[in-house]
Amino acid sequence: MKNDIIMEVKGLSVSYKDNKVIDCIDLAIEKGKIYCIIGPNGCGKTTLIRTMSRSIKPQEGHVFLSGSNIFKLKTKNVAKKMAVLYQSNATLSDATVRELVQYGRFAYKEWWKGSYEEDTKIVDWALEKTRLTDFQKRKVNTLSGGERQRAWIAMAIAQKPEILLLDEPTTYLDISHQLEIMELIERLNKEEGITIVMVLHDINHAARYADELIVMKDHKIFKKGDPWTILESDVLKSVFRVEAQITKDMDTNKPIFYAKKVI
Amino acid sequence: MRKDSRGFKIAFIILLSVLVVVCFLLGNAKGTIEIGVKRIFEVIMNDDGSTQRMIIWNIRLPRMILAALVGVNLALSGAILQGVMNNPLADPGIIGISSGAGLFGIAILVIFPQHQQFVTIAAFFGAMLAAFIIYLLAWKGGIQPIRIILAGVAVSALFGAGISGTLVFYSDRVYGALTFMNGSLSARSWPEVQTILPYTIAGIILVMIFAQKLNILILGDDVARGIGLNVEATRLSFTALAALLAASAVSVIGLLGFVGLIVPHSVRLIIGNDYKYMFPATALFGAVLVMLSDTFARTVLSPTEIPVGIVMAVLGAPFFLYLLRR
């Protein structure tokens, strides 16, 4: 029996002027899993995630969130189910970490109603989950890259989403901060049951944390499957054009990918 | 007290409120005939038929109130535009919103002089048109801050040329063409106060209610949409509000530049970018700046008056250059 589908993409096409960036993509995201989208530069990964998160309107096709067309839902109602973390989060704002996380509760506030205690509880929870409780009074733009990324994640989970989309959450971070973010995302999935869809550059991170890998090439989905299936096949060879060696990580039983040379 | 603490921000706002009162009294006291503070209150409270009563009630009092209201409107307009256009240099004067308002306002004055009551509405449409053209020119998958300024300068030049042309061809019909171009409070009185007051009140109420939305919008369009803000509707309504505030100011005193640039910026430097505090501080500081500048413009070369717009340009142009270099 098939699991619950939380998000579905049907016949999605996006073009900029005459260039097709996304070419008729179909994709189903099952509840509770971690998906990683990988693929070479310019294959359309970021555009796909931006379209799934309603930032870009597609020329053709639809995105469904729990069965409803995402572009027809009220944006506040989308925000209560789905949170997004984009790649560049430069901001003019000089909000503190706590204020930023409070903004994550925006969708739940109407003019006068909305429980203050409830919000405070959830903001505290989000800060704790991301281990930012001690940083809550700092201004976001004074934080280091890793801390700042955690602050944005805290804001996203304060939305209490069922699904979290992330576009290269570890770019520009050093290795320990990369791992810290990946572990945080995994915890959110395992402990809170949040479905994760993220674009990643690092194939090994993708293979280690994902339940399913989605490989994109030339603006289409080339293949989708669990990490072993994807890495052991010739998929990566033809998509990334590299000769690679696959080994097994003895601790996690996940495949490790080592690119040896360009072909 | 820490600079970004709540207490500091509130203290700053209280300080500005005191300054508003001080500047207001100063403007009423100063002039060719000096009038003491106590006497000012006396003649405001009762009409004793004196010359001083006439000077205060008919000239200085409405003029200072008008200066304060114009200051509030232009400063709030600038603060809003900087947020929605994601550009610290946005000011209704610099990016052509005021010129758009001015051209449409003047067009009504010369073509339908019998329908003067529509000047503010026409000015509003001119301001919205200018804003629309700026977005159209500057939009390329999101707003590019530098394109906003370039587009704005072009729009400003275009509408400015339209105003100059109109003033040349219909110079007989437009009273005080020169003062219009430079923004002047000279010879303005209660009718102008009545024209602008409703917009100022509405503007203050609306910005205070929706300050949080602007706080979220400056996080960036993607982030704002992600947490549930209707980005397009928010940007459109704030732009319309900024246009309305600028248009109402333009329609009573002409083109007064730089208030919307200097004020929000100085406020931001002092208490930061949280619009919940920035809006009230900006409104008060705007009132202070225009009242002070006008008092200065009126008294420095007494009995000759210089348009307040010239004072503002002398202050504002170097400030603009300083911001560009920062």
Q: What is the DSSP string of A60-77?
A: EEEEEETTEETTTS-HHH
DSSP structural state of residue B49: -
> pLDDT confidence of B316, banded at 50, 70, 90?
confident
Query: Is pLDDT of B107 > 50?
Result: yes
Domain residue ranges of chain A, discontinuous segments joined by +: 5-262
Min mean pLDDT across A42-51, A63-72, A204-213, A235-244 is at: A235-244
Query: Is pLDDT of A91 > 80?
Result: no
- Greater confidence (A258 vs B145) lies with A258
**pLDDT score, position A226:** 93
**pLDDT score, position A222:** 92
Strand order in the sheet with A82-85: A82-85, A163-167, A195-199, A34-38, A212-217, A220-225
> Averaged over A200-221, what is the pLDDT?
93
What ipTM goes with this model? 0.90
> Averaged over B88-113, what is the pLDDT?
87
Range among A72-86, A228-242, B249-263 with highest mean pLDDT value:
A72-86
Which of A50, A83, A91 lies closest to B218 in CB terms? A91
Render pLDDT for A154-194 as a digit per residue (tens, 0 to 9): 999 999 999 999 999 998 899 999 999 999 999 999 999 99
> pLDDT confidence of A113, banded at 50, 70, 90?
low
Fold of B6-325: ABC transporter involved in vitamin B12 uptake, BtuC (1.10.3470)
- Greater confidence (B292 vs A233) lies with B292
> pLDDT confidence of B143, banded at 50, 70, 90?
low
DSSP structural state of residue A40: -
* CA neighbor of B102 nearest in space, from B182, B219, B188: B182
Phi/psi of residue A9, each to 5°?
Answer: -115, 130
By DSSP bridging, strand A82-85 and strand A163-167 are parallel
Contact check, Cβ <8 Å, A156/B216: no
Q: Which two tokens stand for residue A238?
A: 């033809």
**pLDDT score, position A1:** 41
**pLDDT score, position B175:** 63
Q: State the DSSP H helix or E strand holding residue B210, giving kind and residue range, or none if neither.
A: helix B190-217
Sign of torsion over alpha carbons A127, A128, A131, A137: positive
Render pLDDT for A198-208 as a digit per residue (tens, 0 to 9): 999 999 999 99
Query: Is pLDDT of B168 > 90?
Result: no
Nearest residue of B to residue A140, measured between CA atoms? B219
> pLDDT confidence of B142, banded at 50, 70, 90?
low
**pLDDT score, position B2:** 61
Distance CA B39, CA A248 (A): 91
- Greater confidence (B111 vs A67) lies with A67
CATH architecture label of A5-262? 3-Layer(aba) Sandwich (3.40)
For residue B109, the Cα-to-chain-centroid distance in whole angstroms is 21
Contact check, Cβ <8 Å, A84/B222: yes
* CA neighbor of A152 nearest in space, from A53, A75, A84: A84
> pLDDT confidence of B176, banded at 50, 70, 90?
low
A228-to-A32, A94, A185 alpha-carbon distances in Å: 20, 44, 21
Min mean pLDDT across A87-91, A126-130, A185-189, A242-246 is at: A87-91
- Greater confidence (B67 vs B303) lies with B67
Q: Which of residues 144-173 of A touch B (CB under 8 A)?
A: 152, 155-156, 159
Which amino acid makes up residue B236? L
**pLDDT score, position A7:** 96
Min mean pLDDT across A90-104, B177-191, B225-239 is at: B177-191
Contact check, Cβ <8 Å, A93/B215: yes
Domain residue ranges of chain B, discontinuous segments joined by +: 6-325
> Averaged over B190-206, what is the pLDDT?
94
Query: Is pLDDT of B206 > 50?
Result: yes
If you average pLDDT over every residue of chain B, what do you get? 88
If you average pLDDT over every residue of chain A, what do you get? 91
> pLDDT confidence of A79, banded at 50, 70, 90?
very high
Q: State the DSSP H helix or E strand holding residue A34, giving kind and residue range, or none if neither.
A: strand A34-38
Range among A179-193, B30-44, B145-159, B302-316 with highest mean pLDDT value:
A179-193
Nearest residue of B to residue A92, measured between CA atoms? B218
> Averaged over B217-232, what is the pLDDT?
91
Sign of torsion over alpha carbons A207, A209, A213, A214: negative
**pLDDT score, position B177:** 60
| Residue B299 CB neighbours (<10 A) | 16
Q: How buried is B6 (Cβ within 10 angstroms: 0-12 exposed, 13-18 middle, 19+ buried)? A: exposed
Distance CA A176, CA B30 (A): 66
**pLDDT score, position B322:** 82
Render pLDDT for B242-277 as a digit per residue (tens, 0 to 9): 999 999 999 888 888 889 999 999 999 889 889 999
> pLDDT confidence of A114, banded at 50, 70, 90?
low
| Residue of B205, B209, B219, B274 to mutate when probing chain A, most A C-beta within 10 A | B219
Which of B222, B228, B272 lies closest to A79 in CB terms? B228
* CA neighbor of A23 nearest in space, from A222, A240, A218, A224: A218
| Residue of A106, A109, A137, A167 to mutate when probing chain B, most B C-beta within 10 A | A106
Number of DSSP helices (H) and strands (E) in chain A, helices first: 9, 12
Render pLDDT for B123-136 as a digit per residue (tens, 0 to 9): 999 999 999 998 88
CB B91 within 8 A of CB B78: yes
